[in-house]
Amino acid sequence: MSIRQNIAVAIATLGGVGKIPKAPGTFGTLATLPLCYYVMQQGVVVHLVVAVLVFIVGTWAADEAARVMGSKDPSQVVVDEAAGVLLALVAAPQGWVWFCGGFILFRLFDIWKPWPVGWLDRNVSGGLGIMVDDVAAGGYAFLILYFISWWVR
């Protein structure tokens, strides 16, 4: 592999976390939680900027890694989980209950794949296809957290 491909695979697998044989998506999400916690402390604008950067860089890395791995959507690619959970937690108020709720909601929507998440997963290809269904799942989690936090206040 070239240096470019090695970098792409490292980013796409979150430094190898995606190579964990059981539940790589869950472990990829868990590995992203320290970053989520940090950006939550920096405010919504920084949080959104980081989420967008992870999405952009992740799309490139996922596309390259999928080619290297010879699969449309390799399970080892977990940068999509990073982008999804970052989006899910944009609306979360401070506190571990909200943090854990965002994690759980994101994983549920990512696994369940309600419309349009499942449609995106099946119909969009390449790096964008790998990323966009998880971002949509993160969007569902975001909306639920936002409305629950609005209702609680």
Q: What is the pLDDT of residues 36-68, one digit of tens each?
A: 999 999 999 999 999 999 999 999 999 999 999
Rounded distance, CA 119 to CA 90, Å? 24
Rounded distance, CA 132 to CA 98, Å? 24
**DSSP calls for 108-128:** HHHHH-TTTHHHHHHH--HHH
- Using the 8-state DSSP alphabet, how is residue 13 labeled? T
Give the H or E element holding residue 101: helix 96-112
Rounded distance, CA 45 to CA 39, Å? 9
Q: Where are the domains of the chain?
A: 3-152
pLDDT, mean of residues 89-102: 92
Residue 93 CB partners (closer than 8 Å, separation 6+): 149
74-83 confidence digits (pLDDT tens): 999 999 999 9
More confident residue, 91 or 54: 54
Residue 102 CB partners (closer than 8 Å, separation 6+): 36, 85, 88, 89, 92, 141, 145
Q: Is the pLDDT of residue 91 over 90?
A: no
Contact 31, 17 (CB under 8 A): yes
